[in-house]
Amino acid sequence: MYTASRALYRYKARIPARSYLSLFTPLPSSTILLRAMSDSSRTKSDSEWQAILSPEQFRVLRQKGTERPGTGKYEKTKADGVYTCAACETPLYKSTTKFDSGCGWPAFFDAIPGAVSRHEDSSFGMTRIEITCTACGGHLGHVFKGEGFKNPIDERHCVNSVSLNFVDENGQVDKSS
């Protein structure tokens, strides 16, 4: 008996008490719940989105609508900063990639890497590339290629202003609606 308990003592001594415990103790349910909440914080039901978005934001971001050209707040802005998703606040575009396309909506030639996802969109008898916020799935607009704009990659991310907010260099948040 003496030998066995001494061996156990040596075994325990090699492993700090906390990690020894964590080998055998399941995660507390509160930890699991917190993880589930953070995973779902960017994907909500329609009624949850309606509670935090304006009707126009809901129509564009969640129902893939389009704001009327020339009506959006950020069509012609040139200030330095970052445009974030109006639904989930993920940074999507830097002002350094914004250009004046004259099309009636804010235009960017590139997104922050990974922030924007592309999907084929065959609605309205056209084949277009829809862009969405990778984090929350919110509809942003479409990407058009090869239009001859003098920007580094000749792409135009045509984004609804209402899908965006703007954060200036000092961290001041400006909301599109």
* Residues carrying an active site annotation: 158
Do 59 and 162 touch, CB atoms closer than 8 A? no
Is the Cβ of residue 44 or residue 98 nearer to Zn ion in the bound state?
Answer: 44
Residue 85 in the binding site for Zn ion (CB under 5 A): yes
Euclidean distance between CA atoms 174 and 177, whole angstroms? 9
* Region from 2-10, 18-26, 83-91, 161-169 binding Zn ion, contact rule CB under 5 A: 83-91
Is the Cβ of residue 36 or residue 52 nearer to Zn ion in the bound state?
Answer: 52
Residue 133 in the binding site for Zn ion (CB under 5 A): yes
Euclidean distance between CA atoms 71 and 104, whole angstroms? 8
Euclidean distance between CA atoms 33 and 27, whole angstroms? 10
Euclidean distance between CA atoms 102 and 110, whole angstroms? 17
Closest approach of Cβ 49 to Zn ion, in Å? Answer: 11
Closest approach of Cβ 19 to Zn ion, in Å? Answer: 37
Residue 138 in the binding site for Zn ion (CB under 5 A): yes
Residue spans of beta strands (DSSP E) within the chain: 81-85, 91-94, 98-99, 107-108, 116-121, 128-133, 139-145, 155-159, 164-168, 173-175
Residue 131 in the binding site for Zn ion (CB under 5 A): no
HSE-up of residue 106 (Cα within 13 Å, Cβ side)? 30
* Region from 14-22, 51-59, 121-129, 136-144 binding Zn ion, contact rule CB under 5 A: 136-144
Question: Cα angle vertex 114, ends 134, 83, to 5°?
Answer: 75
Is the Cβ of residue 131 or residue 133 nearer to Zn ion in the bound state?
Answer: 133
Residue 162 in the binding site for Zn ion (CB under 5 A): no
Closest approach of Cβ 146 to Zn ion, in Å? Answer: 27
Residues forming contacts to Zn ion in the complex (CB under 5 A) are 85, 87-88, 90, 133, 135-136, 138
